[in-house]
Amino acid sequence: MPDNTDHESRITNYELRFTFYVSRSTLYALLALPLLFLIIFYFYPLGAIFRVSLTWDGEPAPDALLARLFGPATLRTLGFTAGQAALSTALTLLLGLPGAYVFARYDFPGKRLLNALTTVPFVLPTVVVAAAFTAVLGPRSPLNTALMNTLGLARPPLDLRYTLGAILLAHVFYNYTLVLRIVGSFWANLDPHLEQAARTLGASPWRAFIAVTLPLLLPALAAASLLVFIFCFTSFGVILILGGPRFATLEVAIYRQTIDMGNLPLAAGLSFIQILCTLGLTVVYTRLQGRLTRPLDLHPRWITQRKPRTAGEIAFVLANVGLGAALLGLPLVTLAIRSFDAGLRYYTALFENPRGSIFYVPPVAAVGNSVRFALGTMALALLLGMLTATALYRRRQGWLLDALFMLPLGTSAVTLGLGYLLAMARPPLNLRGTPALIIFGHTLVALPFVVRNVMPALQSIRPSLREAAATLGAPPARVFAEVDLPIVWRALAVGGVFAFTVSMGEFGATSMIARPELPTIPIAIYRFLSQAGALNYGQALAMSTLLMAVCVIGFIAIESLRPPGSEW
């Protein structure tokens, strides 16, 4: 009988060398480029903000920073920022929890498509959302027109522009999908028999939910609440357009101090406050996750979900689907319909140069700029995201690195734009006003989405597949090309679509660093909304509709590419 001891020993030693090679040498090579990118285009601009926030008239003045931190105007702005974020979060949870239950516990026709469409508002640029809500809530909305004709009124009875109500509704529109995805996905895997057991012991449905289900949902509720609060706390375009001059968050104040008043030290001081606040919120989020997360016996969805049977269940599902459709669909459908108020006139005007000026940039040029920036962002984000995800997967206990690469997701886009203005204006990084800087800024925002999509796909690969390839003599690069890549390509495609749509809709940072002759679609929409005249408003609606169509197509593609059961 042949002795296989030496052969098995050689295989074991090879696997050990392979594992060491991947976890040590290759790990550092994989992380080198993403870390360098993060240092240059994230930490370096934030450092410039911190440096400028401590100066006044070019001289060190920490006392001036303290005065800005505790001044009445700053405290009022901070109070409104936190207050509207808290109200928006509470309203989003109130409207989103019933929908999360429906998507978690019931299976019904069209659910997959609805799941994709509910995600579209989350990546729409704020200027599109503002245009949509202006079309629904403004004085020339179909509702106001109908009421004026019916009641014989001379003025529109409903005009929610420049009100807190419009801001809250727009934030719910944006973040409704976070509650559906985070809470609904967690809820869908909880054992329904736990609540049923409480019911058989005499508990009412409400009592069973409070005593059994709610404590189990607390980690997901805490995560969703913190994320919604952070996104509302850093809100920019919604406040800038729907809030008008009456309301200003820290984000809007930073923009106005930078663009309108040119007061960079004060803008840097406000940015420093916002960085501290978002960092504190992130710490609270981490602590809550650590305290509330508990081991659970999760079940697959084919066990926990069923079709609605009784008339009450069918009515409940239809009511929540109708509420979601009205809340998310009505503004977008109204926006698209109103873009055709003058037939195709608003669309054809996008190609015209009415004054015949050689300095005029036709609006359609913004479409070309956005597509070029989005393609560059997608390519760079996929490269950096794949390197990062591979390194994080290979690295045991890489939670710190994981958190490091997620930081840009919770950082204000306007703050990043200000950091680029301060840090990228002199050699060796004199990139201010260049198209490359826009691509780098968009990539920073899109990178976490790519990493979050690729990581689960890498973790799903059975180690025995890689070990078999390594045993047959394949080097690590070939193992990746022939084992990993064929499995993760769908996740890469999803990440690429995410990066493309995020870049197409990015407004905050781009509004501060893009040159006037290189507008993107969101910037062009904001310019149209800022100018008087029906034609300008119509062109804003037309461009918003085009961008909305790109997002819808992108997320339908994401749902078709996404592996079954996966979530973003």
* pLDDT tens sequence for the chain (568 residues): 445 445 444 444 444 444 434 445 666 677 888 999 999 999 999 888 888 877 766 676 777 767 777 778 888 888 999 999 999 999 999 999 999 888 888 888 878 777 777 777 776 777 778 778 877 877 777 777 877 888 777 787 777 778 888 899 889 988 998 888 888 877 877 777 777 787 787 777 788 888 888 888 888 888 889 889 988 888 888 888 888 778 888 888 888 888 777 777 888 888 888 888 877 776 676 666 555 444 445 555 556 677 888 888 889 889 988 888 888 888 888 888 889 988 889 998 888 776 655 556 778 888 889 999 999 999 999 999 988 888 877 665 456 676 677 778 767 788 888 889 888 877 778 888 889 999 999 999 888 888 877 877 777 777 777 677 777 777 767 777 777 777 777 888 888 888 898 898 888 888 888 888 888 888 888 888 888 788 888 888 898 888 888 877 877 776 666 655 454 4
pLDDT at 10: 45
Distance in angstroms (rounded) separating the CA atoms of residues 30 and 398: 14
Dihedrals phi, psi of 106, to nearest 5 degrees: -120, 150
Taking the C-alpha atoms of residue 123 and residue 111, their distance in angstroms, rounded to an integer, is: 20
**Cα torsion angle, 375, 379, 384, 389, sign:** positive
Q: What pLDDT is recorded for position 14? A: 42
Using alpha carbons, list the distances in angstroms from residue 299 to 161, 193, 290, 304.
Answer: 46, 11, 22, 7
- Enumerate the domain spans of the chain: 19-54+344-568, 65-124+161-315
pLDDT of res. 382: 92
Q: What is the CATH code of the structural domain delimited by 65-124+161-315?
A: 1.10.3720.10
Strand (E) or helix (H) holding 104? helix 72-105
Tell me if domain 19-54+344-568 and domain 65-124+161-315 are identical in fold.
yes
CATH architecture of 19-54+344-568: Orthogonal Bundle (1.10)
